[in-house]
Amino acid sequence: MSVLEFEVRSGGTIRIDLDKCRACETKACVKICNSTGMGQILELKDGVPALKPTLEEVKRGACTEDLACELDCELYGKKAIVITLPLPKLDEYLEDLTATPTYLREA
């Protein structure tokens, strides 16, 4: 299985399952990443997305974390991208919480 995985500045990772990308006709992630005002870090190489800057540059902030690759891939691609953005303190908070957040309840 081939995977493109890289870290982003805020602390988190973007993981692209390139096996799925090969069958993708739209390459929506590359398209949106290169529009005006976006990070413009992805390019097509050998038919799959690749990084233009180095991993280090991406981590320093070349990736603008607009989340567009993941969302557009979900709609128009092969659901190949997972962006993980941890917030450890929130997990701790939720663990200590005695009440249930409304999104886990039924209205």
Partner 1 sequence: MARLLEHQGKALFRRMGIPVPAGRVVQNADEAIGIGDELGFPVVVKAQVHAGGRGKAGAILFAEDRDSLARAVDELLAKRINGALVNELLIEKKADVEAELYVAVTADPSTRQPVAIFSLRGGVNIEETAEAEASAVYTMPIDILRGFFYYDALNLLRRGWPLDSRRMFATANIYTNLYRVYREYDCKLAEINPLALTADGAVAVDARVDVDDDALARQTALDIEVAEEAGERAATALEITAGTIDKNDHRGSVHFVQIDPDASYARGEGKVPVGFDCVGAGTSLTTMDELIPLGYYPINFCDSSGNPVGSKLYRITKVIMSQPQIEGYVFVSCVSSQQLDNTARGIIKAFKELYPASGGQPNIPCVLVFRGAWDDVAIDLFKQHGISDGRWTRVLGRDTAEIEAAEIFDALYKEWKSETGGFE
What is the CB neighbour count within 10 angstroms for residue 99?
A: 6
Q: Considering beta carbons, is residue 46 or 100 the nearer one to partner 1?
A: 100
Q: Considering beta carbons, is residue 4 or 14 the nearer one to partner 1?
A: 14
Least Cβ distance, residue 46 to partner 1 (angstroms): 28
Residue 49 buriedness (CB in 10 A; 0-12 / 13-18 / 19+): buried
CA dist 68 and 70 (Å) reads 5
Q: Which residues bind partner 1 (CB under 8 A)?
A: 8-12, 37, 61, 64-68, 70-71, 75, 83, 85, 87-90, 92-94, 96-97, 99-103, 105-107
